[in-house]
Amino acid sequence: MSHSGAEHWNQWAETLNREELDALHLRRLKRVLDYAWARSAFYRQHWQRAGFHPDMVQSLDDFKHRVPLTDKQDFLQMQEDFPPYGPTVAVGAADISHHAETSGSTGLPLRIPFTDYDTERYGESWIYGWWVLGIRPHDSFYFAFNWGNYAGFWSAYWGVRRLGATVYSGGGQTTEQHVRNILGLKPTVLISTPSYALRILEAAREMGIDLSASSLRFTYHAGEPGPCSLASVRRKLDEGFGAISGELLGIAEVDAVAPGCRLRHGVHMSEMSNFSWSMDPRSHEEVADGVIAENVVTTYANSAQPLINYRTHDLVRAYNRPPCGCDMTWRYLDGVVLGRSDYMVTVKGTNVYPAAVENLISDVPGVSPYFQLILSREGSFDELLIRLEPDSHISSQEWDGIAEEVVRRIKDVVGVRLRAEVAAPGSLPRHDLKAERIVDLRRDEFRRELDRQGGQ
Amino acid sequence: MVNGQAKAVDDLGRLYEATRDLLAQTDVPAVRQCLRTSLNNLHWALWLMGAEPSFVPDYVSLPDGRQAF
C-alpha cells in the first residue's frame, strides 16, 4: 500500500485544533518537567533556587509563567566549568550517541549531546516541511555540506534516513565538484545553506552549466535567512535551479524547530517535538498573536540535555492560529525570524534590528541576495550603512533608483533614514556556509553595551 | 482521534510493553541493540499518535550510568 499521495506526513497531528494541541502539550510538558527534575542536577538546583517544583504546573499559563527561564549562557558556563557538558545532562554517557555543536554565529559554540532516540525525533521534524512541498521517499538528497560538528545538516541527514529517501554525501567536495555531482548523480533535492546554494549557481554559470535543466526539483535550506524569509533569495533559488525552494528554521541545541510552510512566507513550528510561546523580552509577559516578541521554546527532541522554557532570543511574529492559508494548524512564524532580542542597535534614536532591515532590503525588486549592513560608531552614535549589489541584469543607470527605494522602504517601516550605496555586481563576498551580511566595525565595548540595552 | 487510532495506540502500547520485557530478559548485545531500536520506534509511534508512555524509552540510563535494565 503506497502512502506517498498523502498530503501530510502525519495528517492527524498536523491538523489538530489549538485546544487539542494545547491539551497534548500540557501532558507532555509535565512529562518533561518530571524527567528533568528526576535526572538533571542543573534543573533541580535552578528550580529549587527559584522556589519552583514541577507539581506547581497545572496549566499552560503555569508553565509559561512559573517555570524559570533558561538561557544559552547557563549551559555555556557549565560546559566551561565542567567539560564536556556539565551537570545539564540527563542520561548516562553510554546513551549519548552523537555530539554536535552550534555554529557559534552568536558567540561561543555550545556543545550538544544527543541520544539515539533524540536523533530520530530531531530528524523527523524536517520531514513535515519536505512533505508539504512534495518531497517523498522516492526522492534523493544531495548534501552540499562538509559534515563538521554543525548540528543543522546532521539532523537533515537523520531526517532523510527516517523519510526513507536516498542520501548523496557531498562532503569534502569543491563547489565545482558539487555541480558535477549534481549532473552525474541526478539527485532531486539539494540541501545546503541558502547562500551556498547561490554560490553553486554562480559556479555552474562560470562552468557554462545551466542547473535549471538539472534533475533537481527541490532545494531545502537552513542556517540563515532563506526562501521563506527573504523574497529575493526565494526568487533567485527558484529561478536558478528551476526548482521549488524551502526553508527550515533550526536551533541547533533545541530541534529542527520550524520545518516550513507550503506557501513559503513563513514557517510552522513542529508541535510534535517542541512547545513555544512569545514573550516580551523586557517584561517577560506573554504577548498576543501577531505581536513581535521573543520565541521561548521547550524541546521534546533533546532528552540528553533538556531545554525547558529556553530563551532563543529570536524575535518572531507568531500566530498560534496560523493565518498563512495552508491547512497546517501548527504555530506559524510569519517571515521566520525577524531579528534578535540581544542584537539591536540604536540609529538616530531609533531601535533597529539588523535582521528586520535584511528582510526589507530583500523585498526590493532588482536587489540581489548579496548585500551588507555595515555597523560603525561615529562619536556617541551607531551608524548603519547598507551596501548592496543590484541583480546582474540591472543597468548601471538604474542603480541609484534601487538604492533610493531601499532607503525609502526602510524609512517607511522602521522610521529611520539609513544610507545605502551600490557595489558592482560580483564584488561583495560570497560564503560557503552562512552569509555574513552584518559587518560590525564597532569596538567591543560598544557592542556589549548595546546588546544589553537590546533585550536582556 | 481519527478512526482506528485508539485501537492502534492500544496495540502499539502492548507491543511496546512486550518489547521492553524482552529487552529486560535479553543479554545478547546484538539482540539488545535491535530491541532498543524497536523500543525507540514504538515509543515515537505512540507519541506521534497522541500517547506518551513516558518522556523517553525505559532503557535510557541515568546520568550516573545506572540502567533500569
Sign of CA dihedral B24, B26, B32, B38: negative
Instruction: State residue A107's pLDDT score.
Output: 60
> In chain A, positions 38-57, which contact chain B (CB-CB < 8 Å)?
39-41
Note down pLDDT in tens along chain A; length 456 residues: 567 778 999 999 999 999 999 999 999 999 999 999 999 999 999 999 999 999 999 999 999 999 999 999 899 988 989 999 989 999 999 999 999 988 665 567 899 999 999 999 999 999 999 999 999 999 999 999 888 888 889 999 999 999 999 999 999 999 999 999 999 999 999 999 888 899 899 999 999 999 999 999 999 999 888 899 888 889 999 999 999 999 999 999 999 999 999 999 999 999 999 999 999 988 999 999 999 999 999 999 999 999 999 999 998 999 999 999 999 999 999 999 887 777 767 777 676 777 778 888 888 999 988 889 898 877 666 788 999 999 888 899 999 999 999 999 988 887 788 999 999 988 888 776 666 787 888 765 544 333 333 332
Q: Distance between CA A247 and CA A235 in Å, rounded?
A: 13
Amino acid A88 reads T
Same domain, A354 and A421: yes
Q: In sequence order, what are the residues at sequence separation of 6 or more whose Cβ sits closer than 8 angstroms to the Cβ of residue A423?
A: A387, A388, A389
Contact A303 B63 (CB under 8 A): no
Instruction: State residue A357's pLDDT score.
Output: 83
Instruction: State residue A381's pLDDT score.
Output: 66
Instruction: State residue A151's pLDDT score.
Output: 83
Instruction: Point out the domain boundary residue: A247, A273, A307.
Output: A247
Q: Which residues of A touch B44 (CB under 8 A)?
A: 117, 120-121, 124
**Which residue segment(s) compose the domain that A138 sits in?**
134-247
Spell out the domain ranges in chain B: 5-48
Q: Length of chain B in residues, anyone?
A: 69
Q: Which residues of A touch B62 (CB under 8 A)?
A: 39, 91-92
Q: Distance between CA B33 and CA B36 in Å, rounded?
A: 5
Contact A24 B50 (CB under 8 A): yes
Instruction: Point out the domain boundary residue: A312, A340, A368.
Output: A340
Closest CA to A245 of A253, A237, A254: A237
Report the CATH number that the domain containing residue A379 is assigned in CATH: 3.30.300.30
Q: Distance between CA A347 and CA A411 in Å, rounded?
A: 12
Same domain, A437 and A377: yes
Same domain, A331 and A432: no
Contact B49 A117 (CB under 8 A): no
Same domain, A15 and A57: yes
Q: How many Å lie between the alpha carbon of A317 and the closest alpha carbon of chain B?
A: 27
What's the total number of domains in chain A? 3
Same domain, A155 and A297: no
Report the CATH number that the domain containing residue A190 is assigned in CATH: 3.40.50.980
Report the residue of chain A nearest B40, measured CA to CA: A117
Q: Bridge partners of A142?
A: A168, A190
> For residue range B1-26, what is the model confidence (pLDDT) as tens digits?
566 889 999 999 999 999 999 999 99
A126 is a domain residue:
no
Instruction: State residue A353's pLDDT score.
Output: 74
Q: Pairing relation of β-strands A166-169 and A367-378?
A: unpaired
Q: Which residues of B touch A92 (CB under 8 A)?
A: 61-67
Question: In what helix (H) or strand (E) does residue B33 lie, and over which residues does it extend?
Answer: helix B29-48
Instruction: Give the SS3 label for residue B66.
Output: coil
Q: In sequence order, what are the residues at sequence separation of 6 or more whose Cβ sits closer than 8 angstroms to the Cβ of residue B47?
A: A272, A300
Q: How many Å lie between the alpha carbon of A157 and the closest alpha carbon of chain B?
A: 17
Q: Distance between CA A98 and CA A76 in Å, rounded?
A: 18
Q: In sequence order, what are the residues at sequence separation of 6 or more whose Cβ sits closer than 8 angstroms to the Cβ of residue B21?
A: none
Write b or e for each residue in A193-204: b if 16 or more Cβ atoms lie within 10 A of its Cβ, otherwise e. bbbbbbbbbebb
> Touching check for A117 and chain B: CB below 8 Å?
yes
Same domain, A218 and A199: yes
A127 is a domain residue:
no
Report the CATH number that the domain containing residue A27 is assigned in CATH: 3.40.50.12780
Same domain, A314 and A222: no
Higher pLDDT, A3 or B66: B66
Same domain, A292 and A240: no
> Touching check for A119 and chain B: CB below 8 Å?
no
A129 is a domain residue:
no
Same domain, A240 and A256: no
Instruction: Point out the domain boundary residue: A315, A340, A365.
Output: A340
